[in-house]
């Protein structure tokens, strides 16, 4: 068996790398749906169907779990697939498989609380509001998942989302860094204007953005910490696999990279991030 990692495109590699660091002996299959990227401007129905198709491909390749390394897929499709599709699919397949996401670990990291914790609503006066900025695709921002889930747990944290249309697509296309830096600066400026001051912390709520995390770092004030999804997701998967021995992650250290798009080598932006050229097989 293997650990499957799914994204609309190459952003999921940022999560994938943290998972490889955490589980060096496990077998991995990465799938980027590059024929359909970006997901961020698509309808909910499309995102659910495309995510389901990606999970099926990973399970057919022998994966026991499919990690949705994509905020857009996880915020729109994960709960729906777990509730309506996965039980029947698992039964038909005749072996245990599961689909996991990255929103829960990110919210745990942002709140410092376990997912099960829900705050008592006591209406106490909040002395100091912690302002959390979330940069994401339009679809993730429209889902309001970060606002809703963080508000259930922490009354002293106010979430402001900044949709960044086109940004994931431009990163995927390997756009020049100067162009990406200018776009990121304008999104940071927009959210700062909306809040009325700089955020206290920020989440890069689209896995593509981690590829250019240094550009977000440079655009934000130096004392605004970034909450990184890759580390949070790897930690959560380690805890999950400890509790669920039925999901065997494999032990041969095999790595496969699949794409629904054009196979071969990816952009120099991705190569610089990954450290070596990465060649993809056709899914």
Examine residue 143 and tell whether it contacts ligand DGL (CB under 6 A).
Answer: no
Peptide bond into 38 cis (omega under 30): yes
E-strand ranges in 137-237 read 157-163, 201-204, 226-227
Q: Is 70 a catalytic residue?
A: yes
Regarding beta strands 201-204 and 130-136, do their DSSP bridges make them parallel or antiparallel, or are they unpaired? parallel
The window from 34-42, 59-67, 86-94, 219-227 that contacts ligand DGL (CB under 6 A) reads 34-42
Residue nearer to ligand DGL on the CB measure, 1 or 203: 203
Nearest to 31 by CA among 63, 52, 54: 54
In this chain, which of 137, 143, 162, 192 binds ligand DGL, going by CB under 6 A? 137
Examine residue 7 and tell whether it contacts ligand DGL (CB under 6 A).
Answer: yes
Examine residue 34 and tell whether it contacts ligand DGL (CB under 6 A).
Answer: no
**CA dist list (Å): 187 to 48, 87, 255, 260:** 27, 40, 35, 30
- DSSP code for 81: I
Count of beta carbons in the 10 Å neighbourhood of residue 212? 22
Residue nearer to ligand DGL on the CB measure, 57 or 71: 71
| Whether 278 contacts 265, CB under 8 Å | yes
Residue nearer to ligand DGL on the CB measure, 1 or 68: 68
CB of 169 to ligand DGL, least distance (A): 7
Residue nearer to ligand DGL on the CB measure, 103 or 157: 103
Count of beta carbons in the 10 Å neighbourhood of residue 78? 23
Residue nearer to ligand DGL on the CB measure, 8 or 162: 8
Examine residue 168 and tell whether it contacts ligand DGL (CB under 6 A).
Answer: yes
The window from 38-46, 120-128, 239-247, 267-275 that contacts ligand DGL (CB under 6 A) reads 38-46
| Whether 33 contacts 260, CB under 8 Å | yes
Half-sphere exposure in the Cβ direction for 98 (13 Å, CA): 11
| Whether 219 contacts 181, CB under 8 Å | yes
> Per-residue x/- marks for ligand DGL, 200-219, CB under 6 A?
------xxx-----------
CB of 137 to ligand DGL, least distance (A): 4
Query: Annotated catalytic sites, by residue?
Result: 70, 206
Which spans of this chain sit near ligand DGL (rule: CB under 6 A)? 7-9, 11, 37-40, 70-72, 137, 140, 168, 206-208
């Amino acid at each position: 068996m293997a650990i499957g990692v799914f994204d609309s495109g190459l952003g999921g590699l940022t999560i994938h790398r943290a998972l490889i660091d955490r589980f060096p002996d496990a077998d991995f299959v990465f799938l980027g749906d590059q024929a359909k990227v970006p997901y961020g401007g698509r309808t909910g129905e499309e995102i659910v169907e495309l995510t389901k198709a990606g999970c099926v491909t990973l399970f057919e390749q022998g994966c026991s779990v499919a990690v949705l390394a994509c905020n857009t897929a996880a915020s729109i499709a994960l709960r729906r697939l777990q509730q309506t599709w996965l039980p029947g699919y698992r039964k038909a397949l005749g072996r245990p498989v599961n689909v996991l996401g990255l929103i829960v670990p990110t919210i745990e990291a942002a709140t410092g609380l376990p997912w099960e914790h829900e705050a008592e609503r006591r209406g106490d006066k909040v002395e100091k509001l912690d302002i959390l900025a979330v940069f994401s695709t339009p679809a993730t921002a429209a889902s309001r998942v970060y606002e809703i889930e963080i508000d259930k747990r922490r009354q002293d944290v106010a979430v402001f989302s900044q949709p960044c249309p086109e940004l994931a697509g431009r990163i995927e296309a390997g756009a020049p860094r100067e162009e990406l830096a200018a776009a990121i600066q304008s999104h940071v400026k927009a959210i700062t204007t909306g809040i009325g001051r700089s955020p206290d912390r920020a989440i890069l709520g689209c896995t593509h953005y981690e590829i250019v995390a240094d550009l977000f770092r440079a655009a934000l004030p130096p004392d605004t910490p970034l909450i990184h999804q890759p580390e949070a997701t790897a930690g959560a998967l380690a805890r999950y696999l400890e509790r669920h021995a039925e999901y065997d992650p494999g032990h041969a250290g095999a790595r496969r990279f699949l794409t629904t798009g054009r196979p071969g080598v990816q952009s120099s932006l991705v190569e610089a991030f990954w450290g070596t050229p990465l060649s993809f097989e056709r899914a």
